[in-house]
Amino acid sequence: MVGLQELARRLREAKSTEEFIELIRSGDVDFIDLRFVDLPGRWHHVTIPTTRLSAALFTRGTGFDGSSIPGFTSVESGDMVLLPIRSTATGEEYGDNQIVAMIATAADADSKEPFALDPRVIAGRAEDALRRSGHASESLWSPELEFYLFSGVSFGEAPNGAHYRVSSVEAGWPDPGSNEPDLGYHIRPRSGYHVTPPSDSHFEIRNEIAARMEETGIPVKYHHHENGAPGQLEIEVEGEPLVQAADHVMWSKYIVRNTALDWDLSATFMPKPLPWEPGSGLHFHIKLMQDGNPVFHAENGYAGLSEKALFFIGGILQHGRALAAVTSPSTNSYRRLRPGYEAPTNLFFSAANRSAAIRIPKYANEPLTKTIEYRPSDASGNPYLTMAALLAAGLDGMENRMDPRQNGFGPIDRNIHDLPVAERDKIVPLPVTLEEALSELARDGAFLSSTGIFPERFVPAWIDLKRRESEEIGARPHPAEYGLYFGC
């Protein structure tokens, strides 16, 4: 009998539903797990015993209440179905059970038409729009996943109080009541970049996470300790087509969290979990290809960029303030996007300048490796929507020949804080709050639907969803406000 991951590989390559079912029945599989993503970007799932597996699951689906899923449907029209996607099959051992998990499309219960606001459906339309445009046949995306591992986490709130507290061996913050000895290999604040063991106490777990990702079919490029002293880590994934890359971001986050639990650790992709330490981003390296040939490379262009690459960059920067509402969509995102921590705060592009919203990596200097790196995004967003929105903006830039050099978006290869004030004031800033970003999306969100990628109802639905989050946070006093204003 083949192993679970080998079975999953064969399932992904199955030519028909009948072959897929036969492979399941020949393996030692206990359950089929269907996973789907809500509008904010969180996975949900429903589990079916393999004894109930039939071809009807792939044509009629299994029902669920869409009105209970954030950003989906109203109570009046909540009946929806999940249609499994065979090519996403992945093996997973959970406890004593062997599971085959698949991503599923949310669809109308009657017509079986894909739900227009299913994020994965939107991402698929982005790939279709790119091919129709004639500018490229595919886009390739390489995500950098940054996250923190903590050995203990406590948070909560009530009308009469609020708190959070995390523990980290690497920062010298032991768990309360822990009997483990403190051996002193602490990392100084903001000094964790590429440290080695024993200070890098998470090397072994990163190896295990990377191995699990590789077993799942996710091509890991490398992993390392990031700059944040209390266990900030990074795993970069090789470039893949848009929908597959977004699938793998979701799988990667799932693997990171569950592997951390196996080690009695807790993982968070929160953009800014700690003050005075670096925040965690979800950067994307992007390149376009036309029938296997690079679209973004030109031998004599700035930083080796073609005209199409510059127009693509121009579209992203031109719509950058509105894009922030999708790519940095939490109130916590704007605690990360502050000066002094390598997180971008201004909309410009540059070769190798890490304070730029779009960086052109100098090490990617061959035609096939020429990429651009979008840096403002973080993992509090939905990867399908983030990538689809970036592609929509880039396509708009190429269609309308938006040259970033003519529109004041760079290139700027100097430290912007060394620029004269008059020049620095001309640089367009990113929003500084979620509310500001949402207002920009309301003003400049038409490019999302004009490209045929996002349904027109997306922008008002997204703004309503995120504005409620912002208002919920805004209604609460911050503990630091007590120190500032209690005695006023």
9 is catalytic: no
Q: Are 47 and 25 in contact (CB under 8 A)?
A: no
Q: Tokens 């903590």 — which residue?
A: 150
Query: Could you tell me the CA-to-CA distances from 160 to 156, 157, 178, 290, 477 in Å, in that order?
Result: 11, 8, 29, 59, 11
Residue of 234, 277, 378, 440 marked catalytic: 234
Q: Does domain 4-107 have CATH number 3.40.50.720?
A: no
User: pLDDT digits over 423-433, tens only?
Assistant: 888 899 999 99
User: Using one digit for the tens of pLDDT, what is the confidence trace for 214-261?
Assistant: 999 999 999 999 999 999 999 999 999 999 999 999 999 999 999 999
Q: Which residue among the candidates 223, 375, 378, 444 is catalytic per the annotation? A: 375
Catalytic-role residue among 65, 113, 204, 342 = 65
**Choosing from 35, 212, 225, 283, which is the catalytic residue?**
283
pLDDT at 335 over 70: yes
| CATH for the stretch 138-485 | 3.30.590.10
* Average pLDDT over every residue of 108-125: 94
Q: 194-214: per-residue pLDDT in tens?
A: 999 999 999 999 999 999 999
What amino acid occupies position 195? V
CA distance 439 to 430: 12
Query: Does residue 354 have an active-site annotation?
Result: yes
Residue 9 pLDDT more than 80? yes
Cβ proximity of 209 and 223 under 8 Å:
yes
Residue ranges per structural domain of the chain: 4-107, 138-485
Cα–Cα distance for residue pair 488/485, rounded to 1 Å:
5
Catalytic residue among 165, 188, 338, 354: 354
Find the distance separating the first CA and the last CA of the chain, reported in whole Å: 73
pLDDT digits (tens, 9 = 90+) for 413-471: 887 777 888 888 889 999 999 999 999 999 999 999 998 999 999 999 999 999 999 99
Could you tell me which of 246, 185, 258 has the C-alpha nearest to residue 36? Answer: 246
**340 class by beta-carbon count within 10 Å (0-12 exposed, 13-18 middle, 19+ buried):** exposed
Rounded CA-CA distance 136/311 in Å is 13
pLDDT class of 34 with cuts at 50, 70, 90: very high
Q: What is the dihedral of CA 100, 105, 106, 112, to 10 degrees?
A: -110
* Tokens found for residue 152: 């203990």
Spatial CA neighbour of 144 closest among 248, 12, 9: 248
Question: CB neighbours (10 Å) of residue 193?
Answer: 14
Identified catalytic residue from 118, 127, 144, 170: 144
Catalytic residue among 38, 170, 226, 396: 226
Chain centroid to Cα 189, Å, comes to: 26
Select the highest-mean-pLDDT range: 150-164, 167-181, 277-291: 277-291
Under the banding of pLDDT at 50, 70 and 90, the label for residue 74 is low
- Write down the pLDDT at residue 375: 97
Residue 236 catalytic?
Answer: no
> Which of these, 142, 136, 143, lies nearest to 395 by C-alpha position?
136
Q: Which one of 33, 240, 373, 440 is the catalytic residue? A: 373
Instruction: Judge whether 338 counts as a catalytic residue.
Output: no
> 3-class secondary structure for the chain?
CCCHHHHHHHHHCCCCHHHHHHHHHHCCCCEEEEEEECCCCCEEEEEEEHHHCCCHHHHCCEEEEHHHCCCCCCHHHCEEEEEECHHHCEEEEECCEEEEEEEEEEEECCCCCECCCCHHHHHHHHHHHHHHHCCCCEEEEEEEEEEEEECEEEEEEECCEEEEEEEECCCCECCCCCCCCCCCCCCCCCCCCCCCCCCCCCHHHHHHHHHHHHHCCCCEEEEEECCCCCCEEEEEECCEEHHHHHHHHHHHHHHHHHHHHHCCCEEECCCCCCCCCCCCCEEEEEEEEECCEECCECCCCHHHECHHHHHHHHHHHHCHHHHHHHHCCCCCHHHHCCCCCCCCCEEEEEECCCCEEEEECCCCCCHHHCCEEECCCCCCCCHHHHHHHHHHHHHHHHHCCCCCCCCCCCCCCCCHHHCCHHHHCCCCECCCCHHHHHHHHHHCCHHHHHCCCCCCCHHHHHHHHHHHHHHHHHCCCCHHHHHHHCCC
User: Could you confirm whether 208 is annotated as catalytic?
Assistant: no
The confidence score (pLDDT) of residue 368 equals 92
Distance CA 425, CA 431 (A): 15
65 annotated active-site: yes
* The one catalytic residue among 92, 127, 146, 215: 146
In sequence order, what are the residues at sequence separation of 6 or more whose Cβ sits closer than 8 angstroms to the Cβ of residue 26?
1
Active-site residue 170, yes or no?
Answer: no
* Amino acid identity, position 474: G
What tens digit of pLDDT does each residue of 53-62 get?
A: 999 999 999 9
Quote the pLDDT of residue 426. Answer: 85
